[in-house]
Structure formats: C-alpha cells, structure tokens
Amino acid sequence: MKILVTGGAGFIGSHLVEALVEEGHGVRVLDDFSTGRVENLHAVLADVELLEGDCADPERAAAAVRGVEAVFHQAALPSVARSVADPLPTHRAGPTATLTMLVAARDEGVARFVYAGSSSVYGDTPTLPKREDMETHPLSPYAAGKLLGEHYARLFARLYGMETLTLRYFNVFGPRQDGTSPYSGVISRFVEVLLAGGIPVVHGDGRQSRDFTYVANAVAANLLALHAVGLAGQAVNVATGRRVSLLELLETLARLTGRPAAAQQAPPRAGDVRHSRADLGRAREVLGYAPAVDFEEGLRRTVAWLRERRQSSSSGAEEAGESRSCAAD
C-alpha cells in the first residue's frame, strides 16, 4: 500500500515509518521538523518519500495525500506544558492540522485515517482504569485539541464514510524520544539527567502515576489499524494496562543506570493529571491489540539506546548536563 505518515520524522512517527517500510509499504512522510529530525529516519531514508511542510497548510496537505490509501496522522506539538504557556501554536499543529489533513484525505478519496490521540483527554476523572466510554475532561489546551481532533475523525467516518480511528496513546516512551527538551517525555528526561550525573526534578509528591507504553506497542497498534474493519470513527486506548508512579519509575531507572534514586521536589504543574491507567478491552476487541513489550523491557531498551547515543555523541554530556532538572508529564 501507499501510506502517508504525518509527523513521520518524530519519535513515534519514525518508528512507525520503519515498521511500514519493513512490511513492504510505500511510505511518504509529511513533517515540518518543528520537533522531528531527519536523523530519526536515517535507516529508511532511501525508501521513504520525504515532504517538508505544515499539515495545517491545505496545499501541502493535498500534495501529501495524493495517491495514498491510508494516512497515519502523528503530527502535533505533543506537550502539555508548552500548550499551557502558549496555546495557539498547539492548536494550529493540533486540531487545525488534523482537520486540514482529514479534508485533504476526503477530497483524495483516501479510505483510512488513523489519528494519534492521547490519554490526556480523560483528564482528572478519578475512575481507573480509563475506559473509552468514560466522560472526557481535558485539563490543558493540548488535551482539548487532541479531543477535538477525535471528534473530527469520528465525524469524517459518519459524514463521509471514511474508516477513521483514534488511538489514545498513554505516555509513550522509547529510543529517539528527546530527553534534552523541557517538553519531552519524563522517562527520557529522567534517564538523560541520571546518565549526566544529575538529580531529576519531580513535580508534586512523585506519587502521580502513568500507564507507560513502550513505543513498539504503539507502532503495533497502528499496524493492526491498517487492516482492521468497522473502525467507524471509534477511539481505543493504546497502553500497557499497568500503573507506575514516578517514584517507582525513578527507582527502576536508578537501578538500570547505576545511580542513586534521589529526586528534587518541585511544585505540581498546571494541566497535569494525577493518575492514569488504561482499560485495554476495546483495543483487544477492535484491533486484537495486546502489549508485546512490557514496561521493564521497554525501559532497558530505552536506557541502552540513550547510553549508546551519549557515548557516540561528543556533545551529549554537555547538553544533558545543562538540563539537570526534569519534570513529569
């Protein structure tokens, strides 16, 4: 199949592109490189058609969907903190870009559109595990935008008969997630700081918990969505199905990096949710999804990758050394 991956130069997108190439598909990437990097695609660059541009630009979107049979829409500015500080760019790269891509896909007659949603749409509803039929309660402009994107994806199934699906990712982590940015995922940031000999900063009491999901599991859910039938605009959780607190995470990472499990405490951050854990019943039913790589194995692979990258990059030590603090998503 000919497939478009938006945000394909990003963390999750680049893993998905590799898997699609491996399965023999023709892959096009549309990315504006706002957070993505061409190096993320170095292993498959010769096999991929790379388009630079903004998904919110209708002309770029139309060019990107030409001749494709399926779209995996991964592009977004995936940071709660950034969206709280500056909501407009998050909105443009979020729901505006999603609607633009959906319209372009509809006009091109693309049959299938898989949208990268987020567990952040559940917000602080106290009930665990999170089920897709629960009320949503976004706490940040990022989460509100992710939810709006879901509504558009559902509407395009209903109004135009497209096969659309939202995959609600729960805290995805793994190689290529940028740990040097204050906006990046908590696991990469913790590991970067630990490997640099620093002490991670934990916002709040550290007992907040997440259902951390190794990136290969998110990729597997996308691959299943390529062939599943009767998607009908639904949303399904993509996670591990297990809840781990930040303090537990820090202890495990300290063990894996050989560093003390010390933390600097900082005030809680606006827009953060307290606890998160997914129910995976619908993902199993709709996609036949089950997490193949468990949390500890995912952490081992992530630490190994970050350690190797640090060793092979002469500037790595300085970069991470500067960022001695890190916060939890």
Ligand X SMILES: NC(=O)c1ccc[n+]([C@@H]2O[C@H](COP(=O)([O-])OP(=O)(O)OC[C@H]3O[C@@H](n4cnc5c(N)ncnc54)[C@H](O)[C@@H]3O)[C@@H](O)[C@H]2O)c1
In angstroms, rounded to a whole number, what is the distance separating the alpha carbons of residues 285 and 278?
14
Q: Give the x/- contact pattern for ligand X in 69-108, rule: CB under 6 A.
A: -----xxxxx--------------x---x-----------
Stretch 282-301: interaction string toward ligand X, x if CB under 6 A: --------------------
**CA angle at residue 89 from 271 to 12, to 5 degrees?**
75
In eight-state DSSP terms, residue 4 is E
Q: Which is nearer to ligand X, 66 or 197 (CB)?
A: 66
Q: How far apart are CA 314 and CA 316, in angstroms?
A: 6
From 3, 4, 5, 9, residue interacting with ligand X (rule: CB under 6 A): 9
Q: Which of 4, 10, 80, 210 binds ligand X (CB under 6 A)?
A: 10
Least separation in angstroms between CB 146 and ligand X: 6
Q: Smaller CB distance to ligand X: residue 34 or 264?
A: 34
Give yes or no for residue 118 binding ligand X (CB under 6 A): yes
Between 227 and 266, how does the x/- string for binding to ligand X read (CB under 6 A)? ----------------------------------------
Q: Is 289 a residue of the active site?
A: no
Q: Which is nearer to ligand X, 9 or 259 (CB)?
A: 9
Q: What is the C-alpha to C-alpha distance for residues 195 and 186, in angstroms, rounded to an integer? A: 14
Given a contact cutoff of 8 angstroms between Cβ atoms, the answer to whether 75 and 60 are in contact is no
Please report the DSSP string for 226-247 in residue order. TT-S--TT-EEEES-S--EEHH
314 exposure class (CB count in 10 Å sphere: 0-12, 13-18, 19+): exposed
Contact pattern for ligand X over residues 172 through 201, marking x by CB under 6 A: x------------x----------------
The answer to whether the beta carbons of residues 22 and 43 sit under 8 Å apart is no
- Which helix or strand (DSSP H or E) is residue 31 part of? strand 26-31
The span of 20-28, 34-42, 188-196, 312-320 binding ligand X (CB under 6 A) equals 34-42
**Based on CB atoms, which residue is closest to ligand X, 36 or 138?**
36
Closest separation in Å from C-beta 23 to ligand X: 20
How many residues touch ligand X under the rule CB under 6 A: the total is 30
Give per-residue burial for 93-114: e unless 16+ CB within 10 Å, then b.
Answer: bbbbbbbbbbbbbbebebebbb
Spatial distance between the Cα atoms of 29 and 14, rounded to a whole number of angstroms: 9
The answer to whether 27 contacts ligand X (rule: CB under 6 A) is: no
Asked if residues 245 and 261 have their Cβ atoms less than 8 Å apart, the reply is no
Closest CA relative to residue 155, chosen from 92, 79, 232: 232
Which one of the spans 10-18, 150-158, 264-272, 285-293 is the region binding ligand X (CB under 6 A)?
Answer: 10-18
User: What's the closest the beta carbon of residue 194 comes to ligand X, in angstroms?
Assistant: 19
- In whole angstroms, how close is the CB of 93 to ligand X at the nearest point? 4
Separation CA 79–CA 142 (nearest Å) = 7
How near is the Cβ of 274 to ligand X at its closest, in Å? Answer: 17
Beta strands in 36-187 (DSSP E): 48-52, 70-73, 112-118, 163-169, 172-173
Q: Which is nearer to ligand X, 189 or 259 (CB)?
A: 189
Nearer to ligand X, 3 or 9 (CB): 9
Judged by the rule CB under 6 A, the positions of this chain that interact with ligand X are 6-7, 9-13, 30-36, 54-56, 74-78, 93, 97, 116, 118, 169, 171-172, 185
| Catalytic sites, residue numbers | 142
